Amino acid sequence: MAEGDKIVPELLQEGVPVKEVYATAAWISTHRTLLDRTPGVRVTEVDEHVLKQLSALTTPNQALALLDIPAATDITPGSLKGTVSLALETIQDPGNLGTIIRIADWFGIRQIICSPDCVDAYNPKTIQATMGSIARVRILESEILPFLQQAGVPSYAATLHGNDITQFSKLEEGIILIGNESRGLSDAVIGASTHKITIPRLGGAESLNAGVAAGIICGRLLI
């Protein structure tokens, strides 16, 4: 379920196979042209009271969409050659995961591997935090180690004790790895990575938010 006046049109525009839309009469009227262009979608007019009952969020929107979770089974270790991917281990906060998906979309990363113990990428809070980017970034839930061992591309594990990120040049292919909000990446994943990277610290903070760290790393390695 994707909720939001902004994300529902974005899903439709990007051609994500939406099955149903529940929305207010005003929303349907505003988006009539778009809905006419996507004839497979069943649209049901509901009032705000019903939307509030359907919503998983504390602040309901004018529209929500139901869609099948896109299969991402074609994301295999072999498919990562020549591209930059993100792999996330045990990200727990839906807002952080959504923020990271949005960062990936900004920097043109098209696929993210989420370890099975990450928060669900299709949690309504995650979807909302992606601000529509969930329509453009594909998510595979999978163990990460096989990708590190079989993809044959360099991998960059974010840790507090790696090599200064400013020493790396712009990536053309590879897997960027971000770990849990408080514990970081597991030793197994760090050990299997070809590079350990660290954002140098000039001040007093003990750590950075996982989404911010992902952004800074992408901002150094991808542009």
Nearer to a copy of itself, 131 or 192 (CB): 131
Nearer to a copy of itself, 52 or 110 (CB): 110
Window of 15-23, 47-55, 127-135, 148-156 that interacts with a copy of itself by CB under 8 A: 127-135
Of 67, 80, 132, 149, nearest to 111 (Cα)? 80
Residue 51 to residue 177: CA distance in whole angstroms: 38
Candidates 32, 81, 183, 201: give the one binding a copy of itself (CB under 8 A): 201
| Beta sheet of 2-3, edge-to-edge order | 2-3, 63-67, 18-23, 42-45
Residue 144 to residue 141: CA distance in whole angstroms: 9
Answer yes or no whether residue 199 interacts with a copy of itself by CB under 8 A. yes
Window of 39-47, 115-123, 152-160, 206-214 that interacts with a copy of itself by CB under 8 A: 206-214
Window of 15-23, 64-72, 140-148, 193-201 that interacts with a copy of itself by CB under 8 A: 193-201
Residue 62 to residue 99: CA distance in whole angstroms: 22
How many Cα atoms sit within 13 Å of 132 on the Cβ side? 13
Produce one character per residue of 67-80: b if its CB has 16 or more CB atoms within 10 Å, e if not. Answer: beeeebeebebeeb
Answer yes or no whether residue 208 interacts with a copy of itself by CB under 8 A. yes
Candidates 166, 172, 191, 194: give the one binding a copy of itself (CB under 8 A): 166
Footprint of a copy of itself on this chain (CB under 8 A)?
99, 102-110, 131-133, 136, 164-166, 199-209, 211-213, 215-220, 222-223
